[in-house]
Amino acid sequence: MSVYVQQTIAPKLENTLMPGRSQDRCTRQSLMGIGSLTGNIASCRFLTFQAFLSPILRIASDGAIHSAAEFEQGSADILGLSPEDRTQMLASGGMTVLRDRSGWAYYYLFRAGLLERPSRGHYRITERGLQALKDCPDGVNKKYLKQFPEFLEYVNSKPKEGKLIDSASVLETSNQTPQGMIDEAYRVLQEQLAADLLEQIMSKSPAFFEALVVKLLVRMGYGGSEAEAYVTGRSGDGGIDGLINEDRLGLDRIYVQAKRWKEKIGTPQIRDFVGSLAGQGAHKGVFITTSGFQPSVAEYLRGVQHRVVLIDGPRLAALCIEFGIGVVPEGAYTIRKIDASFFESE
């Protein structure tokens, strides 16, 4: 499988502001790679493509021709993946983690000669594949596949300058699929960006933070425009830092409290905010902080009639990144695949 790769990376900070047996031919690994073939998995995201190798061979062991979709859903059944696991998306949003992992698994099995492909998107087990199930009762892995010349030729092939990038060569030193590696790198970049963003916010004045919060809420679609939303100021505001319309017509208002703190927000601060909402005759508020909230806060809010949304530091950073507050794009990767419908026209 080869792809064209064109250089989008995560945004960057705006300047203004991640016992089994041991055998020579197959080794037992944890469920992150292969491991036991039954039972529930905490999350599909933590499975590598190697976890799907043996389940796919087991599905194909009846000798019938199976589709890619059968491998995908059948292996999910064998691994005990929940409905939530099966619909979990890669960070790119292009496909599910399940489709990515299972797709590379049956492609690797095909490249190693354990599966044959009688027609596009359909596979059948070979004698070599049946033997693999006998050789590796604890699970087939990439090390086992490396004994076959066809697989080694595929993995070790070196793309010439100006040619397509062979993504299998990238997998030689990793248990992840190419899309999985991009997904994981993107997650790490986002986590680091979020940490840097919070550090920048903490270095600014409280007034700057309050204005940032109002700008974020407007960017999220509340209040129409920044001109219609405003910061109330530091004195005489009764614990309210910002006012913003819930909709463009201004039928209801949302009151905002923003605290640029390192310590976690406790019940007293939330109680004061709820009291301020009551004094304004308001029923909805958003309390945003760069830190977090003590467990007692959620319990307190369950006993009040006012609707108060809590946004802690990590969620604030994630929203700023999503809506482009204090960050700018740095680059982009476009991953292309074969357009099968184009070649079916003839």
Which domains does the chain possess?
Answer: 19-164 (1.10.10), 204-325 (3.40.1350.10)
Query: Could you give the CA distance from residue 265 to residue 290 in angstroms, rounded to a whole number?
Result: 10
Q: What's the pLDDT at 235?
A: 39
pLDDT at 223: 65
Q: So what's the pLDDT on residue 14? A: 62
Angle between helix 53-60 and 68-79 (nearest 10) = 120
Helices (H) and strands (E) in the chain, counts: 14, 13
- Residue 109's CB is within 10 A of a number of other CB atoms, namely 28
Residues constituting the chain: 346
Alpha-carbon distances, residue 264 vs 218, 291, 336 (angstroms): 26, 6, 45
pLDDT below 70 — which residues of the chain? 1-46, 157-175, 223-240, 247-250, 344-346
The answer to whether 15 and 181 are in contact (CB under 8 A) is: no
The pLDDT value given to residue 241: 74
Residues facing 116 on adjacent strands:
124
Per DSSP, the residues of 210-267 read HHHHHHHHHHTTSSSSGGG-EE--SSSSTT--EEEESSTT-SSEEEEEEE--SSPB-H
Encoded tokens for 308:
């108060």
Q: Which residue has the tokens 């830092």?
A: 241
Residue 227: what pLDDT?
A: 57
The residue type of 192 is: Q
Neighbours of 342 (CB within 10 A): 8
Helix (H) or strand (E) holding 314: helix 313-322
pTM greater than the 0.75 cutoff: no
Residue 167's pLDDT is what? 45
State how far the alpha carbon of 210 is from the alpha carbons of 18, 29, 287, 337, in Å: 27, 51, 11, 45
Name which of 237, 290, 331 is nearest 6 in CA terms. Answer: 331
**Confidence at residue 146, expressed as pLDDT on a 0 to 100 scale:** 93
